[in-house]
Structure 1
């Protein structure tokens, strides 16, 4: 089960950051939908998205998800990156592919954290970011 914003209530045009790419502009809500759907399709667990627009200068949303093992983490990462590339949304920065149990994907407006469960529990980013509400 995924916990996230209701995309129907996502910021509307004029109140939403826009990511520029060669072929046009994309609303953050559309980018977020690609990420969340990709994570669900890849069987990532405990998917959470957090709106950090008012609390952060580096991103508008943070998405967290768990993978069952290092192998599953690599597969989820690969699936998400392929879907992102196929959507034409441009380059992303990726850290943590070396096998540490935590992969960070920076799309510019959305930061995605993919964890093995024990690493996610150790850092507990949900508690840090949700406590600020």
Structure 2
């Protein structure tokens, strides 16, 4: 059975969430923003405890992406390790240091419809 585009992108976004979870990322969420913006279909957002972990999470996503059919188009913020954005076209991955995550609070911009929100950490049983 062939997957639809939407199913494939959702599966890839959740595979990124799984890789982040396995590297101990905090507060992992996947946001379906396809009907809200033209820049991406999904945002994956998470936090690392410190800048070194933020970078390690980025490294893990970059390792996983080719395995699930994603090609990196651009990456920003790696050298500072405070807010890294990785662009895979249909999926944007945002990896935050906790202070930046609290300040920018990206989820509040996109949470008006819970059908578009997957709290990956809670799906895995984290508190």
User: 4+ residue stretches of structure 1 with deviation over 2 A?
Assistant: 85-92
Match 2:4 to one of 2, 8, 13: 13
What is the CA RMSD across the aligned residues, in angstroms? 1.8
2:122 maps to: none
Give me the whole-angstrom Cα distance separating, in 1, the residues matched to 2:60 and 2:81: 19
Return the index of the structure with the highest Cα Rg: 1
| 2:48 is aligned with 1:57 | no
Structure with the higher helix share, 1 or 2:
2
Q: 1:80-120 deviations in whole A, cap 9, x for unaligned?
A: 10111333432331100111500001111111110011110
TM-score (norm 1): 0.76
What runs of 5+ residues in structure 2 fail to find an aligned partner?
114-127
What is residue 21 of structure 1 aligned with on the other side?
none
Higher relative contact order, structure no. (Cα contacts within 8 Å, ≥ 6 residues apart): 2
SS in 2 for 1:50: strand
Helix, strand or coil at the partner of 2:27: strand
Confirm or deny: 8 A CA contact 2:10 2:42 kept in the other structure.
no
